[in-house]
Amino acid sequence: MTAFLGDLRSVVIAGFVLALLVFLLYLRIQGFDGATFWPFLVRWLHVISGVMWIGLLWYFNFVSTPTTPKIPDELRPALGRYITPAALFWFRWAAMSTIVFGLILAWQNGYIAEALTIDSIDGFADPRAILIGIGMWLGIIMWFNVWFIIWPNQQKALNIGNAYPDLGKEAKAAAAKTGGQFSRINTLLSIPMLFCMVGAQNIV
């Protein structure tokens, strides 16, 4: 058991296998309905991706950033060289998969146009479309911030992949500040975004 739990890949695979077994049990009881299964599968992947994305966003803002100044100087290189780049990899790709699966889900369920226009094409008649649309646009803004502001600036600040070996300390500090500020913006946006996403399913 210790060896199994010490191997993340095995644990993740086991988690998916267990989910598959639960699904097979469901099929035995309920039967298969493709019309409901495929949107469910995309929604599930959307939620898993979102948990990874927002979880890492909150890790950066609630744990990593406030704690880093308390770390002794001789230990900080390990954070910037190994831990943060690895976290940023999962962070940015979780953002990408969340957006992709979210757009596919909206298309599958037939409300992508209403959501992207915040239901203006129907005269703002559907509160659910308005909420999901606001949430979707907040998510898209957050995704843009990740890929086009936070990630490029963190690449510079941490010299990830040795892409900026000649960048000076001041430039690195400026890049780190910009990336950190937009990470805080995303933290701010994540709260109303999640409210809209959950609210569209439960309060309208």
SS (H, E, C) 47-68: HHHHHHHHHHHHHHHHHHHHHH
User: What is the rounded distance in angstroms from the CA atom of residue 157 to the CA atom of residue 172?
Assistant: 4
What are the distances in angstroms from CA 55 to CA 51, 58, 95, 98? Answer: 6, 5, 11, 12
pLDDT of residue 34: 84
User: What is the rounded distance in angstroms from the CA atom of residue 48 to the CA atom of residue 40?
Assistant: 12
pLDDT of residue 111: 93
pLDDT of residue 47: 97
By the 10 Å C-beta count (0-12 exposed, 13-18 middle, 19+ buried), 110 is classed as exposed
The string of DSSP letters for 71-139 reads: S-TTTHHHIIIIIHHHHHHHHHHHHHHHHHHHHHHHHHTT-HHHHHTTTGGGTS--HHHHHHHHHHHHH
Contacts 24+ apart (CB under 8 A), 155-164: 158/80, 158/81, 158/84, 158/85, 160/85, 160/88
pLDDT of residue 91: 98
CB distance 153 to 178 below 8 Å: yes
Distance separating the N- and C-terminal Cα atoms of the chain: 46
pLDDT of residue 166: 86
Residue ranges covered by each domain of the chain: 1-32, 36-202
| Neighbouring residues of 90: CB distance < 8 A, sequence distance ≥ 6 | 52, 56
pLDDT of residue 74: 86
pLDDT of residue 78: 85
Q: What does the pLDDT profile of the chain (204 residues) look like in tens digits?
A: 889 999 999 999 999 999 999 999 999 998 888 888 999 999 999 999 999 999 999 999 999 999 999 999 888 888 888 999 999 999 999 999 999 999 999 999 999 999 999 999 989 999 999 999 999 999 999 999 999 999 999 999 999 988 888 889 999 999 999 999 999 999 999 999 999 999 998 986
